[in-house]
Amino acid sequence: MSLPYRAEVVVVGAGLAGLSAATRLAAAGRDVHLVDAAQHPGGRLSTSRVDGFLVDRGFQVFNTGYPRAADLDLPALDLGWFWTGAVVRVDGRAHRVVDPRQHPATVVDTLRAPLGGPVRAAALAAFSARAGYAPVSRLLAARERSADEALRAAGVGERALEVFLRPFLAGVLLEDRLETSSRYLDLVWRSFVRGRVGLPAGGMQAIGEQLAGRLPADRVHLGVRVTGVEGASVRTDGGTTTADVVVVATDPDTAAVLLPGVEASAPRQVTTHLHVLPESPWSAPLIVLGQPRGQLVNSAVVSDAQPAYSPDGRALVASSTLAPTREPDVREEVARLHGVAATDLEHLTTVTVTGAQPAATPPLQHRRPVDLGGGLFVCGDHRDTPSIQGAMASGARTARAVLRHLGAPLPTTTAPTTADPGAG
């Protein structure tokens, strides 16, 4: 359905930022139209079916430690859970490193993992406690440096850094030099300390679909490409819509094109190879970390965490590299990480995501301006932090700014708190 000629608010982009802004504005009684060129809501959270298997657009997970997780109906997503931790392989042996608060029986395995001994383990625990429970204001006020420098200063040691922390964080930050801001590292680690990581039964796209379901169907315009934004008007292939407010909530590159003068980019990329095994080689749902000098940053049997990803009980394996790779070039490495024969792996598909997320190098540009003046607004994870949390927080912050512009009262339930670093 095309846009009307006149609207109160038009939100361009049905990713999590645009959905978060649109649903808040609609709940406040504003007439909101949401438009996106894609045929589904959710933006980068996209899921397809390949031979009956659910395949997300790259290996993605949802973290309940995100403050904006409170905006979702989590039970309705029917999340399946990974254990908090990972498997590391050293000298051919697999070792489990697991948060003992959730799985006390893993304490011995974790202490025996070759990460540098008790002193280094205590340093990692101290770092986790600080990130997880210190006031956010203190984390954001701490001296800023690279994540690599911060972890070394925390005393975690070279072994834990190279075997565990670097590959684990590379899968989250989509960069393995740990050049990311130490302040963002603290926020990311906080979410792991305070939350759990899981997958919706309907795939990651189900998150966007849940939010879109809160809007009237005739206010969601999918498959409509926006070709230009000029002041308070939006141009599409079907004509021009004039609005009191226009919110551009697209990916960073598109936002920079539609809004000259807005600097935004998403230089991080990831390639994920999907394989099928007759059965899972593991007894617990844990991400397996890549090894130093390998191509893979991680590999996981996603159907161990969320059985709904498999149509028939076979194991679905997702293995990711930061550089574009060919499946034959990583097959042996995938097999070694899981302790299976390469011939057991059936290649399902490969997904390369360019523009996967913005960088968050120092200085961390947290809460960049969203009000461009004249009824024009911009939001997205490039305005906050490069994550699901950052996208949703930016949308919430933009909705409040739009309501102020329209002279509407702000809903008290969306006010930020000092414990919510991304509420914006």
Burial of 104 by CB count in 10 Å (0-12 exposed, 13-18 middle, 19+ buried)?
A: exposed
Same domain, 257 and 376: yes
- Phi/psi for 416 (5° steps) reads -70, 155
Q: Give the CATH number of the domain where residue 385 resides.
A: 3.50.50.60
Question: Does any domain span residue 11?
Answer: yes
pLDDT tens-digit map of 262-277: 988 999 999 999 999 9
Same domain, 370 and 261: yes
Beta strands 6-12 and 32-36, pairing class: parallel
Question: Does any domain span residue 179?
Answer: yes
Q: How confident is the model at residue 422 (pLDDT cuts 50, 70, 90)?
A: very low
Same domain, 124 and 109: no
Same domain, 156 and 211: no
Inter-residue contact 21 to 396 (CB < 8 Å): yes
Cα gap 76→210, rounded to integer Å: 9
Q: How many domains does the chain have?
A: 3
Same domain, 97 and 174: no
Same domain, 54 and 21: no
pTM of the model: 0.94
pLDDT tens-digit map of 172-191: 999 999 999 999 999 999 99
What is the span of the domain harbouring residue 291? 47-67+76-114+268-356
Same domain, 279 and 347: yes
* Residue listed under structure tokens 């914006």: 424
Strands, E, within 103-238: which ranges? 197-199, 220-222, 226-230, 233-236
Interacting residues of 118 by C-beta distance below 8 A, sequence separation 6+: 111
Same domain, 370 and 256: yes
What pLDDT sits at residue 412? 55
Q: How many CB atoms lie within 10 A of CB 89?
A: 18
- Kindly state the tokens that stand for 152: 């070394």
Cα gap 277→341, rounded to integer Å: 10
Which of 140, 175, 194 is the endpoint of a domain? 194
Same domain, 260 and 281: no
Inter-residue contact 388 to 63 (CB < 8 Å): yes
Question: Residue 411 above 90 pLDDT?
Answer: no
Same domain, 26 and 51: no
- Give 285-311 as a DSSP string: --EEEPPTT-SEEEEEEHHHH-GGG-S
Question: Does any domain span residue 199?
Answer: no
Same domain, 251 and 386: yes
Same domain, 40 and 51: no
